[in-house]
Structure 1
Amino acid sequence: MIRLLLFTTALCGTVVLAEWIAVEKHVNIPWDLEGKPLQIKTDSKLHISGEAISVEMYDIGGSWIGGVKVLFSIPSMKYQIINCNDYIALSVQPPAEVEKIWKITKTGTALIITCNYVEVLNYQFSDSSNSNCVTKWGSDVVEQIKFDSTDKASDFYRAGKGLKCINTTTLNLK
């Protein structure tokens, strides 16, 4: 990671890493999910009470698109993309570490979730049997997020890990 940071600094100039922000429920947060992935930090573990990450998504006009939920249930973690599917077990279970960093990335065709840099979900909207899935989630739509009251797992959030270049320089490669 240090080598990557030094290499990126050499290429880009200044490197900016976003600070963690404490999660507050029911607060509209401007967020272009297609432009910047959402990282969520949690120390929740699998247990019967079923803590969950629960993030609602809205378009630029404030209209509700749906939500993303990750349920910390026993025997396996489950996910739900509202307007696309009911709860389904993650096909790849997250790493065992207690402190986890989840990253939610959206494209025009898919929702990708990683946990501690392991891809646990790559959901193609076109695979849904719900006809509203592609209509609601497809294309460039998410402009606001809100942590739901059912979210008992999310502690902090920030812009997804990805080094952002400021003061870019031109390289002359020979």
Structure 2
Amino acid sequence: MNASLSPQMSASVLLPLFIAMVAGAAVPFQAGSNAALGRTLGHPLWATVASLLVSLIVVVPVLVGMRAGWPNLAAAARGPWWLWIGGVAGVAYMTAALVLTPRLGAASFIVCVIAGQVVASLIIDHFGLMGLMTKPVNLTRVAGVALIVAGMLVVQWGTKAAATSAAAARAVGT
């Protein structure tokens, strides 16, 4: 951390990073609980529906408590088409998590999700997509993304090696 930062400034920088980490830490729990819910309900898509309904039940009282007012649907309807893909992306992510987390394990699934998020984010930044400020790709940023993708591959390799070792131990024990 830069020693020249004042305590207030460092807190203003560190608090959002901490909150983002806590939000990120919730994701594997979401994936695991939704996968179990999908098994319990009999189909992964029912768990997606249930998760979205629970989200709605939680967020509406928060909006009311914050006195957020009504959404400006007319302005949103006049906006670009991509304003609405968040819901589709959420369903795609949730359904993938429901199906793949039991097969891959939480760590393997989440590291793949993170790698995909970072690659897509680099593209979004480079082209300034979705109304975001353009942040061109450079060698340093590509190297960082390559390290994350390499980390994903290492986690996958480690998971496969652990599974092979466990299978060998079971075979010896029988």
Asked if these proteins are the same fold (TM beyond 0.5), I'd say no
Q: TM-score normalised to the size of structure 2? A: 0.23
Higher relative contact order (CA 8 A, sep 6+): 1
Q: Which has the higher helix share?
A: 2
Normalized per residue, which structure has more strand? 1
**Higher Rg of the two aligned structures:** 2
